[in-house]
Amino acid sequence: MRHLVCWPTEVDRSPLLIGAASVDYATFVERKVANVNGKDVEGAEPKKLKYPRSIPFIISNEFCERFNYYGMRTILVLYLTRKLDYDDDTATVLYHSFTTLVYFMCVIGAIISDSWLGKFKTILYLSIVYVCGSSLIAIGAIPTLDVDARAMTIVGLLLIAIGSGGIKPCVAAFGGEQFKMPEQAKYLALFFSMFYFAVNSGSFVSTMITPILREDVKCFDSDDCFSLAFGVPGILMVVSIIIFLLGKPLYKITAPAGNMFMKVSKCIWTAIRTRSKEKTVNPRDHWLDYSEKRWGQQLVDETRILLNVLRLYIPLPVFWALFDQQGSRWTFQATRMDGDLGFWTIKPDQMQVINPLLILIFIPLYEVAFYPLLSLIGIRRPLQKLTLGGIFAGIAFVISTIVEIQLEDTYAVIPSAGESQLRIFNGMACDYTVQTDVPNHANFVLKSMEMFEEKYISVNGVKSFTYTFSSETAGCAGFNGQFQLEEYKQISYLVQNRAGTPGLLSYEDNTEKSSKGYPLFRVLGNTAEDRPYAFKDLEADPPYDRHSNTTYTDDLVESYPSLYEISVDGKKVMEYYMRLGGVYAFIISETDNEIKAEVLIVTEPNSISMLWLIPQYVVMTLGEVMYSITGLEFSFTQAPESMKSVLQGCWQLTVAVGNLIVVIVAEAKIFEAQKWEFVLFACLMFVDMAIFSVLAYYYKPIPIKSYEDEDDANTTLPIEDRKEERGLENPTFTKSE
């Protein structure tokens, strides 16, 4: 269970600490040193102190903040598509751009904290920015307000990214600073276990609750309540600030100590700039040695070790490109599936709760079962485990590809280049025999209240096809004419006699599923006059007419999955349950003052259970635990202690770059079918792990030197801190007091 204490939480997908002043708690937990007569003695029992009373405030603050972040992010893509009318690709771009900015801001937040404001002020000020962003999104989601919801959402996401990313590296480190080391090493271990639990529980609870608030609560005359689903997490963020401020009298607040990330950046820049000037006149063994005069040999050597480890980081962003699609592409995939379990209906965004739940299960299982089993087949070294974690991510996307292929059978067929589609709905009380020159359909029978459909008709531009309708039923006169079909389009016709004589009413059809996952329907009326119809939602409490119209229309209407009572002119004609993803046509016909209704399924509703998504979530989480924890543990053991905080910052940046990869792929719109995008990411992951394997094979650790026993420690210091050995600065020429 040491990973729970010593390394970052995996639901948070990020290191807990960053910055030069960060607490290296792995070292603290393992160290037993006490001060005896003013000297450190190994193995001595440390003096026991009480557990810091400030810690409950920090833990509670973290729970509320994580509840806000994951609650908001869980429902974000559905809000972007269902309320702001972005398409799936644009929503994916916005989602991953937001995540990229969050993790980029982790580095900025660490620099602000360690160089200027300190951790307390950074957490406080950026939390206020965070609340402002959450408030903007929640207010923009209120449909009755005359506001630009898109603009408020974008600005709100920007502020949340600045706030969440900025405080992410500070909270755990600030908590670590409340302990006196080494006397409270065991308490520190307990703190990080509690911190881990707060992060996971905040994520788990919010991922379960916010989809319920979104869909099961009705507000502002809408079928859902996104404003409440965003507002409750926002309120929790306000509570987190209040809790954080209440603990101020108990906090141990330290001044900024300078940021190692900045020092490393300056060291590298000095080496690059100096090398270009002195390469020929003052050659060095390593290009970083050119900054030794300015920054000292110790920083140069440790930066060299850092860069040696960071070479292994080059392939790492691809994993995060796959992992973070759980909240975007996989959520959209869930909207095209059936969440009805009979006793409970799973909401698409609730599938994301599988990840934090499995993490709580898998981490101890890895320690007691998985890692011992892997060692039996020769997988023992950290880089082997990390490679296997990446392979698991690729396998997860192979599984999602298989699921997507199965889902395609439930999707509408959309005409491509050189094709058109024809549908004929018979709204008459009689059967018709149809003769036409449509290929492969020279003669067919169209029965009463039924539909003819041909999805693949060769058409370039516009093309006409002749038809003749005839019937043996009395009162059903025949007629003839031409079908006008157009390339890329779906053309539909309704057989009706509303004008007194039989004929065809044409309209351009659209059988594609709703991007929001809701059912769609159209009413095709063949009545003597336009009689009012109503669709009463029988599952609403109380039931009410969700849809009504005084005239029949062929326009598609977006509905809500429920059991409906359909009535015409106040008279009930049928009951029907419209399911998620279905596209329906309701034919209403009147003969001798008798009204009949029939429903035709134009596009099949979602029929594949969301439970089929569980395998890909399981495999992805298996990969995440192995990839992230092992990767950080390995790189931390290879880096000098002064560079551990810089390494965490670089880890955050790999997450940011990974999300940027998704943005680029989604924006490029390379593939029309989602399955090919999944294939691309799976292949990219496998190739990426092959590259990583090569880098790992040739990786050679650089020994970490100790500078404490150097004969001339003066040479390890930056030039401004050294004592010059010439002129009046030399001790030989200095007067003694």
Structure-block tokens of residue 178: 């409340």
Whole-number pLDDT of residue 733: 32
Lowest-pLDDT range of 13-22, 64-73, 197-206: 13-22
Helix (H, G, I), strand (E, B) or coil at 292: helix
Whole-number pLDDT of residue 736: 36
The single-letter code of the amino acid at 689 is: M
Over residues 73-95, the pLDDT tens digits come to 999 999 999 899 999 999 999 99
C-alpha span between 625 and 356 (Å, rounded) = 11
Lowest-pLDDT range of 279-293, 471-485, 495-509, 592-606: 279-293
Structure-block tokens of residue 558: 């977006």
Whole-number pLDDT of residue 541: 82
Helix (H, G, I), strand (E, B) or coil at 494: strand
C-alpha span between 639 and 637 (Å, rounded) = 6
Mean pLDDT of 207-217: 91
Mean pLDDT of 427-455: 94
Bridge pairing between strands 557-558 and 520-526: antiparallel
Greatest CA separation for the chain: 128
CA distances for 339 relative to 200, 537, 615, angstroms: 24, 20, 16
Whole-number pLDDT of residue 48: 65
Whole-number pLDDT of residue 731: 35
* Cis check: omega of the bond before 8, within 30 degrees of 0: no
Helix (H, G, I), strand (E, B) or coil at 602: strand
Radius of gyration for the chain, computed over Cα atoms and rounded to the nearest angstrom: 33
Within 10 angstroms of residue 242's Cβ, the number of other Cβ atoms is 12
Nearest one of 330, 102, 357, 331 to 205, comparing CA atoms: 357
DSSP 186-229: HHHHHHHHHHHHHHHHHHHHHHHHHHHHHHTS--TTSSS-HHHH
C-alpha span between 348 and 338 (Å, rounded) = 9
Over residues 302-340, the pLDDT tens digits come to 888 888 888 888 999 999 999 999 999 999 999 999 988
- Output the average pLDDT for the chain: 84
Helices 88-112 and 644-668 pack at an angle, to 10 degrees, of: 160
Over residues 348-405, the pLDDT tens digits come to 888 988 988 888 788 788 878 888 888 888 887 888 889 999 999 999 999 999 999 9
Kindly state the percentage of the chain with pLDDT values over 70: 88
Bridge partners (DSSP) listed for residue 598: 587
Whole-number pLDDT of residue 1: 31
